[in-house]
């Protein structure tokens, strides 16, 4: 009650002092008062719960904003190309199929395989530790086959390249901030994070709905992986003398690049070189 309310109540009591005892007795005896108080307490509890939910959502958004920055496709591609160029300058000439572990070695990142249990948000594909400069791949994934070396598994090459994308674009941004002048100009967020959990590493870029939290980060990492494993200049070379509308020619390119066929056609479609309508096996030249 405000001071004004208190004065008003005291004035009312003084003016109606004979009726006050009966009024207070009726208030105590009225069962509706209990239900009113209970309803008010329920409403307060509901508001507190909604407030806690909003705080959690704000915390998650702040976390995503700390990790996520907009990078154009051109910036991401330049970052991947610059790593390959620097490797070549250091006499670590990349060969294809690309051994992504050599890229990790060049960046000073160690790769481990271990079982990563799911948390309250669901399964985890990989964990990236900034201070330890380490990427831990979850060997408990259903696609992991202990009888096949991970580096001979085309999908695992994509996963490792994907995690390197996270390292370059989100975890350790300051290490490659000079790869793009635009990145340097827009550098207005915290530089890197201590730990990043990767939950989804699909080869298909269109699986990442940007309406879902974290998917922008995952899309960036996967686009980086595509540019690293299949640089544009190499694709230009591989397409010479081939008809990209023929599956047999695409499978031959797949084997030479060491990627999966889905990863290759996603990359070629993103470049606008071919178009395959959903649900169809027919390949058209150019953009859809």
Q: What is the pLDDT of residues 111-123, one digit of tens each?
A: 999 999 988 888 8
The per-residue pLDDT for 206 is: 66
pLDDT exceeds cutoff 90 at 78 = yes
Contact by Cβ (8 Å): 230, 250: no
pLDDT cut 90: percent of the chain above it: 47
Whether the pLDDT of residue 151 is over 60: the answer is no
Map residue 277 onto helix, strand or coil.
Answer: coil
Q: What is the rounded average pLDDT of the residues 87-108?
A: 92
- Model confidence at 184, in pLDDT bands (50, 70, 90)? very low
Banded pLDDT at 22 (limits 50, 70, 90): confident
Query: 102-112, pLDDT tens digit by residue?
Result: 999 999 999 99
pLDDT number for residue 227: 97
pLDDT at 200: 79
In this predicted model, which residue has the larger pLDDT, 216 or 209? Answer: 216
Per-chain mean pLDDT for the chain: 83
For 66, residues 6+ apart whose C-beta sits below 8 A from its C-beta are 189, 190, 193
For 99-107, the CB contacts below 8 A with 24+ separation are: 99/151, 100/151, 100/157, 100/160, 100/161, 100/164, 100/228, 100/229, 101/151, 101/160, 103/161, 103/164, 103/228, 104/135, 104/160, 104/164, 107/83, 107/164, 107/167, 107/168, 107/175
Q: Residue 185 above 60 pLDDT? A: no
Mean pLDDT along residues 87-111: 92
For position 128, what pLDDT does the model report? Answer: 94
Please give the Cα distance from 224 to 100 (Å, whole number): 13
For residue 189, the model assigns a pLDDT of 37
Range of weakest confidence among 19-33, 67-81, 107-121: 19-33
The predicted structure's pLDDT at residue 147: 52
């Amino acid at each position: 009650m405000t001071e004004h309310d208190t004065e008003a109540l005291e004035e009312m009591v003084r003016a109606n002092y004979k009726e006050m005892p009966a009024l207070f007795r009726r208030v105590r005896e009225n069962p509706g008062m209990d239900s009113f108080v209970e309803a008010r307490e329920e409403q307060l509890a509901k508001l507190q719960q909604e407030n806690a939910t909003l705080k959690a959502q704000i915390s998650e958004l702040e976390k995503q904003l700390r990790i996520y920055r907009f990078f154009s496709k051109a910036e991401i591609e330049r970052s991947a190309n610059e790593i390959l160029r620097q490797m070549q300058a250091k006499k670590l000439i990349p060969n294809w199929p690309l051994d992504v572990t050599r890229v990790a070695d060049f960046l000073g990142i160690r790769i481990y395989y271990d079982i990563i249990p799911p948390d309250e948000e669901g399964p985890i594909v990989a964990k990236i530790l900034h201070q330890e400069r380490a990427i831990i791949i979850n060997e408990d994934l259903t696609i992991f086959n202990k009888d096949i070396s991970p580096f001979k598994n085309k999908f695992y090459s994509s996963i490792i390249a994907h995690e390197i994308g996270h390292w370059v674009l989100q975890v350790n941004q300051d290490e490659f901030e000079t790869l793009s002048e635009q990145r340097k100009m827009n550098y207005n967020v915290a530089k890197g994070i201590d730990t990043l959990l990767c939950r989804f590493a699909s080869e298909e870029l269109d699986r990442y709905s940007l309406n879902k939290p974290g998917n922008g980060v995952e899309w960036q990492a996967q686009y980086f992986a595509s540019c690293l494993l299949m640089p544009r200049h190499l694709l230009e070379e591989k397409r010479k003398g081939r008809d990209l509308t023929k599956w047999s020619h695409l499978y031959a390119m797949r084997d030479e690049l060491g990627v999966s066929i889905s990863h290759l056609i996603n990359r070629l479609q993103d470049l606008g070189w071919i178009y395959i309508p959903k649900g169809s096996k027919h390949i058209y030249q150019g953009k859809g």
